[in-house]
A = this chain, B = another copy of it.
Amino acid sequence: MRDELLTAFHRRHASHSFTDCPIAEADLDYVLEAGRLSPSAFGLEPWHFVVCRGPADKSALQAACFGQPQVGEAAAVIVILARASDLAPDQAYTLKLLEREYPGERLAAGLAMYRDFYASVDVTAWSITQCHIAAANMMTAAAVIGLDSCPIGGYLPDAVTAAISADPTRFRPALVLALGYSNEAVPTKQRLDMDTIVTRR
> Measuring CB to CB, which residues of chain A are less than 8 angstroms from any residue of chain B?
1-2, 4-6, 8-10, 12-14, 29-30, 32-39, 41, 43, 45, 47-54, 57, 97, 100, 117, 122, 125-126, 128-130, 132-137, 139-141, 144-145, 151, 153-154, 164, 174, 189-192, 194, 197-201
Contacts and interface: CB of A to CB of B under 8 A. Distances in A.
Nearest to A47: B197
B190 A43 contact: yes
Contact of A191 (B36, B130, B144, B189): B36
Contacts of A139: 39
Contact of A145 (B2, B41, B54, B199): B2
Contacts of A197: 35-36, 45, 47-49
A198 B49 contact: yes
Contacts of A164: 199, 201
Contacts of A191: 36-37, 45
A199 B129 contact: no
Given A37-B189, A48-B198, 13 more contacts: A2-B144, A2-B145, A4-B4, A6-B30, A6-B37, A12-B39, A36-B192, A41-B153, A51-B198, A54-B201, A129-B174, A135-B136, A136-B140
